[in-house]
């Protein structure tokens, strides 16, 4: 997958050979969108406001840390948010699934459990977002629903769309799948209500930075500062959409890491996180959720926090005031 992501950053022989398939994929994606927006296929509204946080590219863009920030920010504004998501990687036999901090990540998926832990909000996972929202609203007092991903889930009506974009990768070579990273044409991002650029951005762009805050030990829960492992060797593992961003962060913090990327949502086994030399192992928070049951004192998670700029917060505040008052 990482090899494919790199090929998607430029227009090369590989992508040009797949370009005809991209045209077909793009046409089908636009047809699906038109069928829902025109009312030929049914979409469903809800009693609560729905905010969709997604992206039009394949791969990590920083969406989940932003969802954590957004949920906590809405609560600070006196709102009662809840979160729905697909529950990718979850093996539950029953959906929708109410997710708590103690739910097994094997059952619900890593992102669902992490969101429940870091926000304290009601969280419901289901492949069908409409069913997830119905279950959420039937069992909570939420007045705002945040959908983690789901820009392309047009059965779900939405009141506000947020597209998160990686500030470095952007839209890659501009091609739709499979010749490029786009799930929909690039103009689709501009049709959303708010584009959030993660990292490098221009003067007129709204965005955020995802900043490291410390390291948490998976076995003891101890939290230490960012300088704890500076100039020390460590193993770094990441099973996320953009592992290189994680590895680069560790390098900026002064760690001397041996990096091991894994596929997104990888189901780790003890052998995957236990190097032969018994050295320190650093991983992402999302991966830590899946590894806590068999981790020991060698294993640490890098904790991070999304830091939106003032323009982004003002845009959200204006929307909230217009729709709730």
Q: Is 56 left (phi over 0), alpha (psi -120 to 50) or beta?
A: alpha
| pTM exceeds 0.75 for this model | yes
Q: Is the pLDDT of residue 307 over 80?
A: yes
- Contact yes or no for 161/151 (Cβ under 8 A): yes
Residue 124 tokens, joined: 């419901």
pLDDT band at 138 (very low <50, low <70, confident <90, very high): very high
Q: What distance in Å separates the CA atoms of residue 60 and residue 54, rounded to the nearest whole number?
A: 10
Cα distance between residue 54 and residue 165, in whole Å? 9
Given pLDDT bands bounded at 50, 70 and 90, which one contains residue 1?
low
Cα 41–chain centre separation? 28
The band of 59, judged by pLDDT with boundaries at 50, 70 and 90, is confident
Cα separation values, 124 from 132, 250, 319, Å: 6, 32, 25
Residues in a beta bridge with 165: 197
What DSSP string describes 193-224?
A: SEEEEESS--TT--EEEEEEEEEEETTT--EE
Q: What is the pLDDT of residues 62-103, one digit of tens each?
A: 899 999 999 999 999 999 999 999 998 899 999 999 999 999
For 253-288, the pLDDT digits (tens) are 999 999 999 988 888 888 888 876 668 999 999 999
Phi, psi of 269 (to 5 degrees): -115, 160
- The tens digit of pLDDT for each residue in 181-235 reads 999 999 999 999 999 999 988 888 999 999 999 999 999 999 999 999 999 999 9
Contact 116, 107 (CB under 8 A): no
- In contact, 289 and 110? CB cutoff 8 Å: yes
Whether the per-residue pLDDT at 14 is higher than 80: the answer is: yes
What average pLDDT does this structure show over 113-132?
Answer: 97
CA 132 to CA 52: how far, in whole Å? 13
DSSP 280-292: -EEEEHHHHHHHG
CA distance 45 to 50: 9
Nearest residue to 144 (alpha-carbon basis) of 126, 130, 164, 159: 159
For residues 203 and 243, what is the distance between their CA atoms, to the nearest angstrom? Answer: 27
Work out whether the CA dihedral 159, 124, 266, 19 comes out positive or negative: negative
> Hey, what are 52's tokens?
């969709």
160/302 Cα distance (integer angstroms):
31
User: What does the pLDDT read at residue 72?
Assistant: 98
Q: Any idea what DSSP says for residue 57? A: B
């Amino acid at each position: 997958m990482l090899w494919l992501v790199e090929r998607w950053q430029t227009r090369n022989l590989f992508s040009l050979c797949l370009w005809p398939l991209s045209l077909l994929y793009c046409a089908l994606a636009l047809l699906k969108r038109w069928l829902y927006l025109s009312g030929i296929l049914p979409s469903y509204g809800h009693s609560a406001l729905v905010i969709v946080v997604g992206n039009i590219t394949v791969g990590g863009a920083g969406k989940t840390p932003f969802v954590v920030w957004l949920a906590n920010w809405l609560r600070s504004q006196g709102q009662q948010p809840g979160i729905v998501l697909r529950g990718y990687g979850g093996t539950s036999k029953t959906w929708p699934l109410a997710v708590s901090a103690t739910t097994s990540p094997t059952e619900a998926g890593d992102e669902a459990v992490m969101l429940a832990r870091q926000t304290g909000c009601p969280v419901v996972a289901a492949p069908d977002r409409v069913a997830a929202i119905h279950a959420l609203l039937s069992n909570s007092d939420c007045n705002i629903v945040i959908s983690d991903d789901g820009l392309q889930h047009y059965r779900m009506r939405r009141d506000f769309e947020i597209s998160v974009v990686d500030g470095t990768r952007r839209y890659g070579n501009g091609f739709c799948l499979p010749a490029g990273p786009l799930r929909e044409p690039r103009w689709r991002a501009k049709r959303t209500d708010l584009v959030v650029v993660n990292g490098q951005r221009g003067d007129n762009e709204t965005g955020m930075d995802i900043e490291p805050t410390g390291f948490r030990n998976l076995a003891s829960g101890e939290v230490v500062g960012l300088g704890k492992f500076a100039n020390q060797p460590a193993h770094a593992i990441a099973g996320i959409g953009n592992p290189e961003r994680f590895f680069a962060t560790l390098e900026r913090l002064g760690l001397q890491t041996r990096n091991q990327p894994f596929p997104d949502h990888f189901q780790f086994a003890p052998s995957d996180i236990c190097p032969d030399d018994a050295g320190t192992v650093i991983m992402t928070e999302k991966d830590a959720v899946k590894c806590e049951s068999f981790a020991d004192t060698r294993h640490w998670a890098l904790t991070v926090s999304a830091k939106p700029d003032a323009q982004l917060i003002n845009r959200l505040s204006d929307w909230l005031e217009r729709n709730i008052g």
